[in-house]
Amino acid sequence: MVNRIVVGAHYGLKDWIIQRATAIIMAIYTVIFLAVVGAVSPNSFEAWRGIFAGGFMKFITFLFFVSLFYHAWIGVRDIWMDYAKPDGLRLVLMIATAAVLVGYAGWAVQILWRM
Amino acid sequence: MAEMAIKKKRPKNLDIMTIRLPLPGILSILHRISGAVIFLLLPVLLWLFQSSLTSPETFATFKSVVGNPLVKIVLLGLIWLYMHHFCAGIRYLLLDLHKGVDLASARLSSKIVFVVSIALTLIIGAKVLW
């Protein structure tokens, strides 16, 4: 048993909570999405597009994507911290990861609101 | 110093070919691998999502891509990775709440994760892909 008094800035606590909050958002969305697809059984372009036509579905789908990208940031950053030991390499990988994820968020907005 | 001498004598096996992970360990490394694979395939998945929604023409392209038998196998694998990450993630959330932390429960819950995620994969695959 480690008797440690945790004080200070709680480094990492924010990411720990966000990782879990985004996971719960994605889990709820996954259930809603599967229920909608199961109910609609979209077999045509119009039916499939119709699922994402409404404002509410657009909103929660966007929320899912943002959660996915933030969740991926924390998870992939942890992978780099575990395996990419040289500082320079780790920094480059982290910046590249953050950059593509921000780009994906913009892409997701474009897909949902230009369709 | 005495403590260090004892620590040095403890057996250590880091040979990846001879390590026998218990089921919760396999679940854990698969949780990481599944997350990494989904991350790497995000551009492909976003492209597929975009194709499915943009126009009837791009939708036709989307249908022919996902209709390819080889792509279907890959997508079934991806659905499994997603479902594994999903189920194992719920297990971790419960562990965070100190539910099922003893050895017997942890082993049982990891079995449940494998069974449920594979069952969900087969159900979703049967409904969506075939």
ipTM of the complex, rounded to two decimals: 0.90
Q: How confident is the model at residue B130 (pLDDT cuts 50, 70, 90)?
A: confident
Residue of B nearest to A24 (CA): B90
User: Which chain B residue has the Cα nearest residue A28?
Assistant: B86
Q: Can you tell me which residue has the tokens 């909103």?
A: A59
Residues of A in contact with B41 (CB under 8 A): none
Partner-chain residue, chosen from B39, B56, B86, that has the shortest CB–CB distance to A45:
B56
Chain A residues near residue B32 by CB distance under 8 angstroms: 75, 79
Taking CB atoms and an 8 Å cut-off, how many pairs form between chains A and B?
A: 48
Q: pLDDT tens string for chain A (115 positions)?
A: 567 776 667 778 999 999 999 999 999 999 999 999 999 999 899 999 999 999 999 999 999 999 999 999 999 999 999 999 999 999 999 999 999 999 999 999 999 999 8
3-state SS assignment for residue A108: helix
**What is B33-92 written as a DSSP string?**
HHHHHHHHHHHHHHHHHHHHHH-HHHHHHHHHHHHSHHHHHHHHHHHHHHHHHHHHHHHH
Amino acid present at B47: W
pLDDT at position B8: 66
Tokens of B108: 């049982």
User: Does residue A50 lie in a domain region?
Assistant: yes
Residue A99 located in a structural domain: yes
Question: At A67, which CATH number?
Answer: 1.20.1300.10
Total domains present in chain A: 1
A31 lies in some domain: yes
Query: Which pLDDT belongs to residue A80?
Result: 97
A16: tokens are: 């720990």
> How close is the nearest chain A Cα to the Cα of B43, in Å?
8
Task: Pick the residue from chain A with its C-alpha nearest to B57.
Answer: A45
Q: What stretches of A1-115 show up as alpha helix (H) in DSSP?
A: 13-40, 45-51, 55-83, 87-114
For testing contact with chain B, the best of A94, A109, A111, A112 (most B CBs within 10 A): A111
Average pLDDT score over residue span B8-16 = 79
Which pLDDT score is estimated for A98?
Answer: 98
Q: For residue B115, give the 3-state DSSP assignment.
A: helix
What per-residue confidence (pLDDT) applies to B1? 47
| Other CB atoms within 10 A of residue B127 CB | 12
List pLDDT tens digits, range B75-120: 999 999 999 999 999 999 999 999 999 999 999 999 999 999 999 9
Among chain B residues, CA nearest to A65:
B46
Structural domain boundaries, residue A50: 13-114
Hey, what are B122's tokens?
Answer: 């087969």
Closest CA to B129 of B69, B50, B87: B69
Q: Nearest Cβ partner of B32 from A20, A34, A79?
A: A79
Q: Does A104 touch chain B (CB under 8 A)?
A: yes
Extract the tokens encoding A76. 């992939």
Domains and CATH numbers, chain B: 22-129 (1.20.1300.10)
